Amino acid sequence: MAWMADRVTERTNPALLWPEVKSILLFGMAYTPDFDPLEILQKSDCGAISSYARSRDYHDVIKGKLKSLARFMLDSVTNPNSAAHEGDVAPHGVKVFVDTAPVMEKSLAAAAGLGWQGKHTVLVSRAHGNWLFLGAIYTTLALPKDAPTSDHCGTCTRCLSICPTDAFPKPYQLDATRCIAYLTIEHKGPIDRALRPKIGNRIFGCDDCLAVCPWNRFAKATREIKLKARPEFLEPLLADLVRVDDTAFRALFAGTPVKRTGRDRFVRNVLIAIGNSGDATLAEEAQNLLQDPSPLVRGAAIWALSRLLPFATFAELRASYRASENDSDVLEEWDAPQE
C-alpha cells in the first residue's frame, strides 16, 4: 500500500491538500448489517463477503449525498436572505472526499467528535457502533469547532482476540500485511502460505473485529436501501464463484466494491476458500483452473488441490502437469510441502 506513504504529508496536513481550507466537516453513514456477519464463516461451501461490499459501492452513495449537502451550504452562505449568514456574499468553495484522496478520515472524525479510533483502529461511535462509512467536506468557510470524543474502549480486547491472523501487534496498531481485508482486496500477488489456512472462507474482506465490538449493541440496521446487502451475496456458493470469467465477474459485481479487485484476485481468494473447505468434491473446480491464463489463479488452484487431494493423487497430478506444461510462475506452488 505504497500509495499511502506517497502523499503522507498531505494526509497529516490538510492545508497541503488544499491551501484555502479553513474548516473540515466529517460525516458518518451507518451501514450496520441486519444479520450476523460471522454466521457465514460456519458454512464452508459458501464465500464470506465483507458486509460493506455486499451492496452498492459506498463511494457513489455517500459522495452524492455530500455533494448535495455542500451545494446547500454554499447556497445558504451566498443567499443574502439567509438568516444564518445574512449579508455574507463572499465567494466560498468546497471539496468533497470519500476515501479517494489523502485524507485521514478516522483521525479527523475523532477530532470532530463523531467517535474515537478503537483498538482495532476503526472509528467507534457510542450511538452507532463501528459500522460507519466516513466522508469529508473541505470548505473555505470558517466554522466553529466541535469537541473530540474520548476513548471508551476500556479494558475490552474482543476485536484483538478474534483476529484470525493476529494482525494487531498491540492495541490501536494494525499490521496490514497480516490483515485479511488487505490480503484479499489490496494485495496483488500470491498470499503468504502460512496465512492462507487462517483466511477460511473469507473471499473479500473480513468483519470479525467489527462484528464483536460491544458498542454495536446500540447500532440500528442501516436505513439506506442502497447499502442493504444484495440477496445473492449473503451465501454465495464457492462452486459458482470459482467459475466466473472476467465478463461474468464484471456483470455479477457491477456497482459494488468487489469489482475493483478484479477477477483474478477474486478467484484467487475463492480458491483459497476452496482449499480451506475440506470438501474434496470441489477439487474438480480447482483442477479446471490449472490452465487458467492468470498465474495467480493457477498458483491458488494448485494450493487448493494440495489441500483437498490425497498425497498420491496430488503427486500424480503434479507429475502430469509438469510433463505437459513448463510453468515457471507456479512451480513454487507445486514444490511446496503438501499440507
What is the 3-state secondary structure of 70-137? Answer: HHHHHHHHHCCCCCCCCCCCCCCCEEEECCCCCCCHHHHHHHHCCCEECCCCCEEECCCECCEEEEEE
Last residue of a domain, one of 192, 212, 236: 236
- Identify whether residues 246 and 232 lie together within a single domain: no
- Identify whether residues 114 and 225 lie together within a single domain: yes
Confidence check: pLDDT of 254 > 70: yes
Record the cell numbers describing residue 57, joined without a space: 459501492
- Identify whether residues 38 and 103 lie together within a single domain: yes
Range of the domain at 303: 238-339
Specify the pLDDT at position 10: 81
- Identify whether residues 165 and 272 lie together within a single domain: no
Residue type, 140: T
Q: How many domains does the chain have?
A: 2
* pLDDT confidence tier of residue 87, bands split at 50, 70 and 90: very low
Specify the pLDDT at position 331: 86
- Identify whether residues 318 and 292 lie together within a single domain: yes
The full length of the chain comes to 339
- Identify whether residues 137 and 155 lie together within a single domain: yes
Residue range 92-120: average pLDDT?
94
- Identify whether residues 132 and 207 lie together within a single domain: yes
Residue 218: burial class (beta carbons within 10 Å; 0-12, 13-18, 19+): exposed
Residue range 18-42: average pLDDT?
96
Q: Are strands 94-97 and 116-117 parallel, antiparallel or unpaired?
A: unpaired
In this structure, what are the phi and psi dihedrals at residue 138, rounded to the nearest 5 degrees? -85, 140
- Identify whether residues 103 and 155 lie together within a single domain: yes
Query: In angstroms, rounded to a whole number, what is the distance separating the alpha carbons of residues 291 and 216?
Result: 45
Signed CA dihedral, 246, 244, 232, 237: sign only: negative
Record the cell numbers describing residue 146, joined without a space: 466541535
**DSSP summary character for residue 310:** -
Last residue of a domain, one of 236, 251, 276: 236
Instruction: Tell me, yes or no, if 166 is annotated catalytic.
Output: no
Which pTM value belongs to this model? 0.92
Q: pLDDT tens digit string along 259-304?
A: 999 999 999 999 999 999 999 999 999 999 999 999 999 999 999 9
Query: Which of 45, 88, 99, 240 is an active site residue?
Result: 99
Inter-axis angle of helices 295-308 and 311-324, nearest 10? 150
Distances (CA, A) of 298 to 26, 41, 199, 248, 272: 44, 25, 19, 19, 11
- Identify whether residues 198 and 53 lie together within a single domain: yes
Task: Count the Cβ atoms, other than its own, within 10 Å of residue 127.
Answer: 12
- Identify whether residues 135 and 44 lie together within a single domain: yes
Query: In angstroms, rounded to a whole number, what is the distance separating the alpha carbons of residues 199 and 178?
Result: 10
Residue range 74-93: average pLDDT?
58
Last residue of a domain, one of 185, 207, 236: 236
Record the cell numbers describing residue 325, joined without a space: 506444461
290: Cβ–Cβ under 8 A, 6 or more apart, which residues? 298, 301, 302, 305, 321
221: Cβ–Cβ under 8 A, 6 or more apart, which residues? 32, 33, 34
- Identify whether residues 86 and 151 lie together within a single domain: yes
Task: Count the Cβ atoms, other than its own, within 10 Å of residue 261.
Answer: 22
Specify the pLDDT at position 174: 97
Specify the pLDDT at position 338: 85
**DSSP summary character for residue 41:** G
Residue range 147-159: average pLDDT?
97
- Identify whether residues 103 and 251 lie together within a single domain: no
